Structure 1
């Protein structure tokens, strides 16, 4: 797991859609699950959403808490 990618989850925002402007780390699980079923977007955003989905699906969101405190 790339530490820079984890940091991006707590600093980057969703660029479009219903949750535009929300931190990737704060996207709801059902929205991440929808992407997992329908397909993640191409590029860096898709990789970050897939990572966030894995963290959410495996109940590991708390791993981002120390990074949030640094931001």
Structure 2
């Protein structure tokens, strides 16, 4: 891969059980948290945390490995 060229992102098998906009739960900073998948990456996902108890952290995001995510069904 040279400068200015993008490598195609091929999702892993573990990512196939998740989709963007899906609610998930995970352990983050020693607490069980929930969030919504914003972006699917190769081996992890960017999560918008939705259950923050602190008002200033309403836009908190994190990157979590697919192995650590649990799907939440509505």
Give TM-score, length-normalised by structure 2: 0.28
Between Structure 1 and Structure 2, which shows a larger proportion of helix residues? 1
Higher relative contact order (CA 8 A, sep 6+): 1
Please tell me whether Structure 1 or Structure 2 has the larger radius of gyration of its CA atoms.
2
Give TM-score, length-normalised by structure 1: 0.29
Between Structure 1 and Structure 2, which shows a larger proportion of strand residues? 2
